[in-house]
Amino acid sequence: MERALLLEKTEEGSVLKYRNIELPNLSDGEVRIRVSYTGINYKDRLAVDASSKVVRKYPMVPGIDFSGVVEDSKSRDFAVGDQVFVTGYGYGTDQPGGYQETVIVKQEHLMRLPEEMSLKDVMIYGTAGFTAALSVDAIEKALGSLDGKRVLVTGGSGGVSSHGVLILCALGAEVTVASRTLENEEYLESLGAREVILFDSLLEKRRALSVEKWDGVLDTTGGEALGNILTEVKYGGIVCASGNLSGIRFESTVFPFILRGITLKGIDSVMVDHAMRNEIFRKLATTWSSVGLERMLKKVISFKELHEELLQSSVGVGRVLVDMSM
């Protein structure tokens, strides 16, 4: 029997409780992971709200990302004792995730921990850091060296945007962050941001082509602001869209695309292929690494504290990490 934080369906919605669960046998190609670290993501908070419909079947163990050590294996690629991690692929929403002492993982979903990283480091990045890194990768491939390039990041102190600022600044970009409030300006500047502006300024009406400001954009908000941002991207620039916190619709014209040759690229972190995952985490472990990574941490909690923390409505600044050994 193992301990898990289980989400169960009720007539009123859902209920989250600690349960003892049976350990199923492994099938061919599966690996059992003893979880070392997991974290609280935006999607994890949505998962415990039945009205969000993020969870597609019950009962479910939330936790969309986790790291740990292989405890048992029926895979030729992974052996007992290997340090590994998982992000995406529907863990925590479609299949049991990281909020349990051990997790069964399909071998094709498992990532080997880079030598330069710890199990804690890779979970500080987690899904948010991976999503941000995918955007930075697309921006770098479109623009070449980011040294001195002006990049706009939307989303304020959110997980994806904060990681985006940290990585972009490590690569020499001049980063402006759009935030709903200036309360977290000091935090964002500590990550390397040159400037923090109010997000509402991006909602002001623009011409079909406005003054060129941004070489690249890491957008986590979508909505009306995205349409306005497109009008300010420099010739040959790129906008990477990975979120919809401000809405799913925006208006635009063809002018930024046919007169300035800009690119609007969608970013998804759930079903990214294995080769790209390896490429991104290799960069995060080496050329993109930052001494400021620990600044991303809000706090580290124990597994027994997870239930209360997960149900809190206030997300706050920084990553909440769960140390399963505490």
The CATH label, of 3.40.50.970, 1.10.1200.10, 3.30.70.270, 3.40.50.720, for the domain at 128-266 is: 3.40.50.720
Percent of the chain exceeding pLDDT 70 equals 99
Residue 314, pLDDT > 70, answer no
Supply angle C-alpha 281, 47, 304, rounded to 5.
80
Task: Give the helix, strand, coil percentages of the chain, each rounded to 5.
Answer: 30, 30, 40
Q: What is the pLDDT of residue 315?
A: 60
pLDDT tens track for 34-79: 999 999 999 999 998 888 889 989 999 999 999 999 999 999 999 9
Q: What is the mean pLDDT of residues 98-109?
A: 97
Q: What is the pLDDT of residue 285?
A: 97
Q: What is the pLDDT of residue 195?
A: 97
Q: What is the pLDDT of residue 99?
A: 98
Eight-state DSSP code of residue 61: -
Residue 264, pLDDT > 80, answer yes
Other Cβ atoms less than 10 A from the Cβ of 101: the count is 17
pLDDT tens track for 198-257: 999 999 999 999 999 999 999 999 999 999 999 999 999 999 999 998 999 999 999 999
Rounded Cα–Cα distance for residues 60 and 91 (Å)? 10
Domain ranges of the chain: 2-113+293-323, 128-266
Eight-state DSSP code of residue 311: T
Q: What is the pLDDT of residue 312?
A: 81
Domain 2-113+293-323 listed as CATH 3.30.9.10: no
Average pLDDT, the chain: 95
Percent of the chain exceeding pLDDT 90 equals 90
Closest of 3, 8, 36 to residue 18, by C-alpha: 3
Residue 306, pLDDT > 70, answer yes
Residue 187, pLDDT > 90, answer yes
Residue 313, pLDDT > 70, answer no
Residue type, 307: H
Rounded Cα–Cα distance for residues 215 and 232 (Å)? 9
CB of 238 within 8 A of CB of 143?
yes
Distance of CA 129 to the CA centre of its chain: 5
